[in-house]
Structure 1
Amino acid sequence: MNLQAAQNLIQDAGVFFSRSEDASGAGRMQVNDSNWIVVDQTPAVGMPIEEGDAVLSVVKLSEPNNC
């Protein structure tokens, strides 16, 4: 799922602050969220979260990923 869709789901659950990080380790900023795909997340799917708990690891759509 792209980063924007993931953030929308988190907000639909009532949490309005999540974070994203470049999974490549290059530290790139996610300027256009729809151009990034989520490849991992913390905490795991189904775990309860509060503001700022969700961290989405992402790569650009055109990059190799295991999803």
Structure 2
Amino acid sequence: MAYKMIAERDNATVRIERQSTWLIVAKARVWASEGWQVVITDTDGNSYPPEDFDRLLATPGRAAA
């Protein structure tokens, strides 16, 4: 399962895709801590803003990879 992170700030947009939930959440947390607006989207189309990253990690079957 692939996860996509989109980070936006000012006129810049960064897109990153990873298979690992842990890696995409770690990257997204770093970008968010630097002032970027970050959201992670899973292959089911569910979106997770920073306040839901822990919920994403706790979802059964999604923490590995």
- Does 1 or 2 have the higher relative contact order (CA < 8 Å, sep 6+)? 1
Query: Which structure carries more helix by proportion?
Result: 2
User: When the two structures are superposed, what TM-score results if normalisation uses the length of structure 2?
Assistant: 0.35
User: When the two structures are superposed, what TM-score results if normalisation uses the length of structure 1?
Assistant: 0.34
